[in-house]
Amino acid sequence: NTSTRLNFCSGAKYNDIDDDAKQNALEYRWPNLTTTETTSKEDQIFWGKQYNKHGTCCSELFNQDAYFDLAMDLKDKFDLLTILGKHGIRPGTAHHYSLKIQKAIKS
C-alpha cells in the first residue's frame, strides 16, 4: 500500500516466540545489535517492537509467524548491504539524502 505509511496499525500485537528454531533463525537473519543473543531471545524487545510497528499493518494477510517468515525470506532474497555498497553507500558513513538510499534499493 503506497498511499499509507505502514506504522503502528491496529492489528494483533506481538506474542513472544517460543519456538527455538524460529528464535535461532531470527537471531541469525534479524538480530538485535544492541544486546547479547541470550538477552535478545529472552526479552524479544527488538522483534516485538518491529512487529508492533510494522507487522500489525499486515495482520489481516499474515499472522505473526508468517510475517517473520516473510521478513527472513526477503532478507535471504536481497543482500541489502551489497546493493547499497554498489551505490557508494557504506555502513558508518553519513548519508543525508534518503532519496539516494531509496533509489539504490529501488534499482
Ordered by where they begin, the domains of the chain are 20-106 (3.90.730.10)
Predicted local distance difference test score (pLDDT) of residue 26: 97
1-59: pLDDT as tens digits: 556 667 888 878 999 999 999 999 999 999 998 999 999 999 999 999 999 999 998 88
Place of cell 500489525: 56
Sign of the dihedral defined by the CA atoms of residues 52, 17, 75, 84, in that order = positive
Predicted local distance difference test score (pLDDT) of residue 17: 98
How deeply is 59 buried, as exposed, middle or buried, from its count of CB atoms within 10 A (0-12, 13-18, 19+)? middle
64-86: pLDDT as tens digits: 999 999 999 999 998 888 888 89
